[in-house]
Amino acid sequence: MATARLEGITKSFGDVEILHGIDCEIQNGEFIVILGPSGCGKSTLLRLIAGLEKITSGTIQIDDRIVNDLEPAERDIAMVFQTYALYPHMTIFNNMAYGLKIRKMSRAEIEKRVQKAAEILELTPLLKRKPKQLSGGQRQRVAMGRCIVREPKLFLFDEPLSNLDAKLRVQMRLEIRKLHHQLNITSIYVTHDQVEAMTLGDRLLVMDKGLTAQIGTPLDVYERPANIFVAGFIGSPSMNFMEAQLENDGRSIRISKNEALELPEKGLPEFNGKKVKVGLRPEHFIICDPKEAQINLVTDVVEKLGADTLVHGFSQESKIAMTARLDGIQHFNRDTVLPFRIQSNKLHIFDPDSGKRIN
């Protein structure tokens, strides 16, 4: 196991700065997920940690050693890539053992490590096969096995499941999480898939345009997003947003003439009369008696997903597009008006200018 610390990491390609001062401290045995949309710099950050790219400024520290100028082989890390990168002419055993042979490790130690990793990953019956004789999931397990035999201080994963089908991704997520519990090796995992991030990570580092948008546990990031970007990126379907104004000494939010939401407790008296941006997750709409409705949603598209139903539509009065998630299979025709009340303690309030959360 190892700790890792990133301080003021920047990376430029020519005159273009890609990363703008990333700071993060990773604890012993922690599984941290770097999450963000394509092009935000998350894979670049991972490659800097691995030593595959040179940082422009800042410090990368693994345990008590600054590794800025060390080659990848000297950093005691192991990396699983998006592609399996297996040698097609070698058996699975030899693929997993190759790195150890390069290090001139004894034959007995190589045999011991490969057999142990194969047992953990349930690859023992496949060790004599070639990569072309394996499924995609099995090949990815071999790629992970090649890292396990190294017994590194740090595991790095660069979107390892993106080439697998949906069912296999679910299975591999579970296997990666179980593997982390077994080995307890500090791990850094890059993905754009928020489901992977929420289910795998002890903490998330959410990135936006080369900046750290938020660092926190998956539930912290989901329930208390630090800004509008994080709120909209985390969650599927994404959060509903609407322009509104605080009134009634900051205890209620006026969306339109006949649409208002109440805030819990004392509200936000210091923001009374100010415009805000309100966020509301689809699962926090509750169908109610029309007389109690705070928002009337006119249905447009209804998606029946089995366990739940997604209702896409717009507010009858303000015409704001909204999505509601309802339990079970619901049957609604297009242009049906659905009365909803909103859980006041589930509202998210943001400053429309800075985008930051108002607590």
pLDDT at 359: 84
Residue 306 has pLDDT above 80, yes or no: yes
pLDDT at 175: 86
Give the residue from 223, 138, 218, 153 showing the smallest Cα distance to 184: 153
Residue 354 — very low, low, confident or very high, per pLDDT cuts 50/70/90? Answer: very high
pLDDT at 81: 87
pLDDT at 156: 95
What is the rounded average pLDDT for all residues in the chain? 92
Residue 41 has pLDDT above 80, yes or no: yes
Burial of residue 101 (number of CB atoms within 10 Å: 0-12, 13-18, 19+):
exposed
238-254 residues labelled b (16+ CB within 10 A) or e (exposed): ebbbbebbbeeebbbbe
Residue 342: helix, strand or coil by DSSP? strand
pLDDT at 122: 87
Residue 252: helix, strand or coil by DSSP? strand
Mean per-residue pLDDT for 238-256? 90
- Chain segment 102-153, per-residue pLDDT in tens: 889 999 999 999 999 999 888 999 999 999 999 888 998 899 899 999 889 9
pLDDT at 56: 96
Mean per-residue pLDDT for 39-59? 95
pLDDT at 311: 96
Mean per-residue pLDDT for 287-314? 94
- Of 48-52, 225-229, 262-266, which gets the smallest average pLDDT? 262-266
- End-to-end Cα distance, the chain: 37
**Domains by residue range for the chain, with CATH:** 4-233 (3.40.50.300), 240-350 (2.40.50.140)
Mean per-residue pLDDT for 281-299? 93
Residue with tokens 């990666």: 176
pLDDT at 171: 86
pLDDT at 85: 83
pLDDT at 16: 93
Residue 36 — very low, low, confident or very high, per pLDDT cuts 50/70/90? Answer: very high
Angstrom distance (rounded) from CA 102 to CA 90:
15
Residue 267 — very low, low, confident or very high, per pLDDT cuts 50/70/90? Answer: confident
pLDDT at 129: 95
Cβ atoms within 10 A of the Cβ of 109, count?
Answer: 12
Output the pTM of the full model.
Answer: 0.90
